[in-house]
Amino acid sequence: MRSHGAAGESAAPDPPTRVSTTAAVPDRARQFLAALRRRPGQALLGTASLALFAVAVALLWPPARAFYHARAAERAAERWEFDEARAHLAVCLEIWPDSASIHFQAARAARRAGKLDEAQEHLSRSQSLAGPSPRTDREWALLRAERGEVEAVEDYLKRTVGPEDPDAPLVLEALARGYLRADRPSSLLESTALWLQARPRDTHALYFRGLAFERLGDRGEAVAAFRESAEADPDNAAARLRLGELLLSQAAADEALPQFEAVRAKRPADPAVLLGVARCRRALGQAREARDILDRLLADRPDDARALAEWGRLALAEGDAAGAEARLRRAVELAPDEREALHALIQSLRAQEDKRRAADELEPRLRDLDDDLRRLGELLRAVDREPRDPAPRTEAARICLRHGRKDEGLRWLASVLRLDPGYAPARELLAAHVGEGGAGRKGKEPAP
C-alpha cells in the first residue's frame, strides 16, 4: 500500500500541470516567456505590444474581410452568379453599412438577379449617401428598363453609351431584358447585335439573340444562336436547355438528349432538366428509362402539369389509354393552356370506345385554344411593330386570362396602363378580373 501511495504522490496535480504546459509551448516561445520572467520591465512592454497587436488586428480585420467579399462579388458578377454576388455584398454591408459604393454594387447585382425591389432599395440608399450622379441616373434607367418600362428610357440609354464604352454590354443587357419583358423581339435582336459588336461571341448576348429569333418564329436561327451560345460557354445551362427544347420540337431527340444530360450532370434534381431527359428517352423509344425519371419527378412534384402530360403521353404510346387519361385530365386541369396535353387527352378518350363522345365534346375546346394561340402570335407581332399601341396588348391580356395564364395576363395589363393609365378597355378587363378574385388586390394595378 505504501509503495502505491508513493506512486500516487508522484502524480500530484502541480508537477504534471507544469510539465504538460511547457511541453505544449514551442521552444522559442518558452525561452521568450522565461526571459520575460527574468526581466519584468520587458514583460510589461511585451504585454503592451501584444495588446496593441490584438487591437490592430481587430481594427484591420473587418476592412480586410470586406475587401475580400467585395472582390469576390465582382468575380461572381463576371460569371453571372448574381445571387452569389448579392451574398458577398451583404457581408460587405454588415461591415460598411454606410458605403454608397457598396450599396450601388448591391443594387446592380440585385437588378441583374431580377430582385428589382431590392435593387431599388439599395440604389435609393446609395443616392441618399452620395447624392445623385450620372452613374446613379443611368442605373435608375436600367432598373426601369428591366421593370418593363423600356419605352420610357431606351432613347436615353442608347445616347449614353457607344460601342467603345466599357459599360455598353451592361446597358445592352438591361435593354435586352426590357425588350424581352415588353415582347419586342425585333428590338431585342437589334440590341444583341450591338452587344455582340461590343463583346463578340458573348454567350449571354447569343442566348438573348436566340430568344429573339424564337419569339419571331425563326426556329432555325434560334437553334443556331443557342448552339453558338452553348459552344461559347459550355456551362451556360439556359442556352443548353432552350437548345434541347427546340431540337425536341423538331423531332431531333438524339441531338437534344446530350444538351439535357450535360446540364443534368451539374443539376441532377432540376425538374426542367429531368423532364427534358424523359421526353428525349420516350422519343428515342426508351420507355422504361423515361418512366423511371417521370415517376421520381412526380413523387416530388405530384402537380407538375408538364410531367403529368408527359407521363400520359408515354402511357398512351404503350397502349394504356385509361391510365393515360387520368394523368392527362389532371394536367389539363392544372394548365388549361397546355395544348399538347389537351390533344393527348382527346387521343386517350378516342382510344376507349365508351369515351369517344367525351372526346368529341373536347374537340371545340382544342380548336378554340388553337385559334387563340394563333391569334396570340399575331398580337405579339403587332406589339413588336407598334410597341406603344395599347390595343394588341389588351387583347393579348384577355386571351392569357381566358386560358389561366394569370401572371402573363396581368403583365400585359401592367404594360398597357404604363403606356396609358386611362385606357378604358384595359381598366375594365382589370376590374373584371379583380372582381372575379383573380388579382387578389382590388383597386390596385398589377405589379410590372
Q: Which pLDDT does position 143 carry in this prediction?
A: 96
Q: Which pLDDT does position 167 carry in this prediction?
A: 87
> How far is C-alpha 135 from the chain's CA centre?
26
39 DSSP assignment: -
Q: Which pLDDT does position 6 carry in this prediction?
A: 35
Give the three-class secondary structure for 330: helix
Q: Which pLDDT does position 372 carry in this prediction?
A: 94
All three cell numbers of 333:
386541369
Angle (CA) 260 266 269, round 5° = 75
What phi and psi, each to the nearest 5 degrees, are found at residue 253?
-65, -30
**Domains observed in the chain:** 303-372 (1.25.40), 388-448 (no CATH)
Stretches where the chain sits below pLDDT 50 are 1-26, 28-29, 32-33, 36, 43, 55, 57-59, 437-448
Q: Report the alpha-carbon distance of residue 74 to residue 45 in Å, rounded.
A: 43
The position carrying cell 457607344 is 162
- Contact assessment for residue 243 and residue 271, using Cβ atoms and an 8 Å cutoff: no
Q: Which pLDDT does position 46 carry in this prediction?
A: 53
Q: Which pLDDT does position 166 carry in this prediction?
A: 85
